[in-house]
Chains A and B, each alone.
Chain A
Amino acid sequence: MKPNTPIERLFNGIVKENPTLVIILGMCPTLAVTTSAMNGIGMGLSTTAVLAMANLFISLLRKIIPDEVRIPAFIVVIASFVTMVDMLMEAYTPALYEQLGIYIPLIVVNCIIFGRAEAYASKNGPVASLFDGIGMGLGFTISITIIGFIRELIGSGAVFGHPIGSLPDYMPSIFVMAPGAFMVLATMIVVRANIINHIEAKRGTRLPVEHTDEPGAQCSGCAFVGSCAGKFQKYEAEFKKEGENK
């Protein structure tokens, strides 16, 4: 597949570099709002809208924004779109807005959006960036909907808000509470890692995209773009050097 075409970008976001399961980005909303599949879809689509628009605009402005102030500039662009989505949801989907609550304004600090702006949109053309945003957003939507579906089914015995017979009476409600979120996500990552290991063993090569704990390695594409261990070690090294110079 040719790189940077719209279809390749969509495939990349949904399958190859799925933000939630492959590069473990945007953990806060993933864990917090996935108490039901509907919530997952709502959160996912609003994030997709912000991601696509922010990517498009940052890509259009990439030659105007000076490199030194790019981070505050990105933050303003992202925060503006989040405010728009926030107001639109309050007006048109009040029930969902109530459910998602504080996590809608917190889309601003979702590391997926910032990570894509920094790693992709600031270096590529507007069309490719738009589709990159849509692909990443749909990948995020699909994975948090799956997590929401599993938690809703096990925790409250319902599918998309419809209870199955008398099942809700027997289900462990801990799965729709906080501990269940960690448990389901951890299990999904284990399953994914197992599949990847299997494929790697079959092909005899390592797959290109992988979360890494090594200091400073491929930071822009990796897990904790906002506050990761690798970046932390980089800062620590710089900090030490600064101390020695004095």
Chain B
Amino acid sequence: MAAQTHTAQHSAALLELRNIQKRFGGVHALRGIDLTLQPGEAYHLLGENGCGKSTVIKIMSGAHAPTSGEIILDGETFSSLTPIQSLAAGIETVYQDLSLLPNLTVAENVALNEQLVNGNGRLLRLFDRKRLKETAERALAAAGLPTNRTFLNTIVSDLPLASRQLVAIARAIATRAKLVIMDEPTTSLTRREVDNLIRVVERLRSENVAVLFVTHKLDECYRIGGHAVVFRDGQCVAQGPIANYSKKELAELMTGRSIDAQRYRTGKPSDAELLKVDRLIADGVRDMSFSIKKGEILGITGLADSGRNELAMALTGVAPATSGVVTIEGKSVSVRSPAEAIERGIGYVPEDRLAEGLFLGKSIFENEIALIVSRLANSIGVVDREEGRTIATRLSEEMRLNTKNLDLPVGALSGGNQQRVLIGRWLSIAPKLLVLHGPTVGVDVGSKDTIYRVIQGLAEAGMGLIIVSDDLPELLQNADRILVMNGGRVVAEMDAEQATEDQLYKAMLVITTETV
């Protein structure tokens, strides 16, 4: 156990966990967690996927009951909390999925819960519509969102993702929150939106509200400041002011091994041109021209509305381009659908792997061979499972999956392993070009390292890769060149070896478009 802090002991603790244990069947998820949260402080809960971070926040929010241990809340000792108890005590959680009700309005999502909690969860009563509106307006203003009638009555599923994130935060602060837990709040936000979030956090802290972040993005933790709490294998391995730890130290604490944050890219692209895109126009993409060589890694970044996402989808036939010429190995081709893209040797690893990429209930084996089922089938359509199994085994070894059991459902894997299954599936058809969209979103440090090594290996073997990402260090570490998009066009092209995060960021903001 490393440094415990005794700095803020003068004020009464907001929430204290004492020797919390949690078992799920045979899995010992938490092995004696001691944690004290003080009012007005920021905490960063760090650790690899599966280290017990989510379990701990679910125990705080009342979604799980601990197997043993004590929870001390406002001086009172509990063996477990219910969601209503936790909410009534002012513990608000912004889950990674945001936990918004997609079919209700912004106002209802933000302010209905206050009335539910005040009524102790009782449902058979009227709700106060005037109060609903007032609470919603106050909370939205605090989160930097509009408070007009149109916005209050907007159905949440009609909002862009970044606004939904802020609506979720507005809900958390609508009640008299004392502790706001944010589970990976910044994964879907661009840098500008992160700035806004950081302002909201500062305002909360000035009002003596504690904030607990669960995140993989260390840069943002340093910007926010406060305490780092590092978990590994269900135990707390370090606690202390985050400024006392270097990035490298934190990564080592999380993984238990040393990780170097050096540039992964070592190879050089060949001279042969693989893909040429000429004057491509699609919904959100205006006039894009660029080319990629065999064995080259091209990074593409920009703000969320810059057209980078649309470009990825146009290249892979998900949302086909309306005009422009795509040439692969000198032959002009059409890419009107994902099936056609596959035929041309273009693979696509989407950003939202859960919704767009994987069959979560199906096994690793079935996921890996999904693209080659027709090739594995004989003339009457019976799939050669033996052959499939051999291929799936080879792919999962290449992708360094941390399980040998290919019959495990993909839903049971960690984010990093799921992503590797998805990339592995594309390798089964040996694409010429692989478009990776946010390849390490929600993936822990250890898995990131593996995925980067795999990406480099693929380039080494002559594949062309496009990484569309807003994780700037990721692009700087992995790409040969980086294109910065803005307003559907390329506004800057940089050599990844020489570029800095700052240069990229400035280029992204050249022409400022509207927020939210």
A and B are interacting partners: no
Interfacial residues, chain A to chain B (CB-CB below 8 A): none
